[in-house]
Amino acid sequence: MLNMLIVNNDMKYIKKLISYTLKYTDNIRLFDVATSGKEALNILLKNNIDIILLEPNLPDLDGVGLIKVIEQQRLEIYNKSIIILSNDRYTLRKINNSPVIYSYQAKDIDKESLLKNINKFVRDKRIMENIDSKIMRELKFLNYNIAHIGTIYLKECIKIDFLKYNGEAENINKQIYPLIAEKYNKSILLIKNNIIKATNYMYNECEIEKLIKYFGIDMDYKPTPKAVIKTVISKI
């Protein structure tokens, strides 16, 4: 079940949202309700919330401010987790490119549209969890240090190539590394060097016979990050 947080200060509207979402959607449970941005932030910092229905017009810390705090604290677990409920185009423009936004929904509740949006979120969430699990399975098999920051960056590279380029990205330095650098607010060179360090560790820890079988070539040299990305994608 996915945990849902409703962030809104209109109790009548909250009751409608609860009625619609819990009665007509599967795999969603109401975790909590927050009536202010600060209250919502406290819940998000202390718990694992999967989907957030957010009204931007809030007291003490509005929805735009809440989103900015989530971005600044680099809470990547909330990327693509927020459905904005608003008719305010000016507010929407402020957060249009935020990585934490999944979609936008008119505040005037159209039940069918809302349910379609949430059910699509559930499907996409399951797909992403499945992809993450498969990538981690392959990296663990290769004896990557899963806690190493370079391995974390590499996992992101594999996912981007798989989802955005269908595994056909030709230039990871220009097509993928900049996206990772932007997400983590790091330099492209740092991203690249950390991935290389993680791959060097893998090469030293993994049996040569396993590498030869996995990559299908004679392993007289360390595999490049690009070779790792492409081969892992072929396995998932």
Q: Does 220 or 228 have the greater pLDDT score? A: 228
Between 27 and 85, name the one with better pLDDT: 85
* Integer CA distances (angstroms), 146 to 140, 151, 166, 199, 201, in order: 7, 6, 24, 11, 11
Return the structure tokens found at 5.
Answer: 């947080």
The percentage of residues in the chain with a pLDDT greater than 90, rounded to a whole number, is: 60
Min mean pLDDT across 26-30, 90-94, 229-233 is at 90-94
- In the predicted structure, residue 92 carries a pLDDT above the cut 80: no
* Class of the CATH domain delimited by 142-235: mainly alpha
Q: pLDDT tens, 147-178?
A: 999 999 999 999 999 988 989 999 999 999 99
What's the pLDDT at 71?
86
Across the range 225-230, mean pLDDT stands at: 94
Residue 98: band (very low, low, confident or very high) from pLDDT cuts 50, 70, 90: confident
pLDDT in tens, 10-46: 999 999 899 888 888 878 999 999 999 999 999 999 9
Per the DSSP assignment, residues forming a β-bridge with 105 are 85
Of 81, 87, 80, 82, the C-alpha closest to 110 is 87
Instruction: List CB contacts of 131: < 8 A, sequence separation 6 or more.
Output: 159, 162, 163, 236
Cα separation, 38 vs 42, in Å, equals 6
Task: Indicate the domain borders of the chain.
Answer: 2-127, 142-235
Mean pLDDT of the region 47-59: 92
Of the spans 22-26, 75-79, 228-232, which averages the highest pLDDT? 228-232
Say which CATH topology domain 2-127 has: Rossmann fold (3.40.50)
Contacts of 71 (CB under 8 A, 6+ apart): 98, 99, 100
Opening angle at CA 111, ends 105 and 116, nearest 5: 65
Mean pLDDT of 48-58: 93
So what's the pLDDT on residue 89? 77
Radius of gyration, alpha carbons of the chain = 21
Q: What is the average pLDDT score of the chain?
A: 90
Better-scored residue on pLDDT, 213 or 75 = 213
Distances (CA, A) of 117 to 58, 84, 108, 122, 219: 23, 11, 14, 9, 47
Sheet of 51-54, strands arranged across = 28-34, 2-7, 51-54, 82-85, 101-105
Structure token digits, residue 38: 């600060």
- Structure confidence at residue 47 (pLDDT): 92
Indicate the pLDDT class of residue 219, thresholds 50, 70 and 90. low
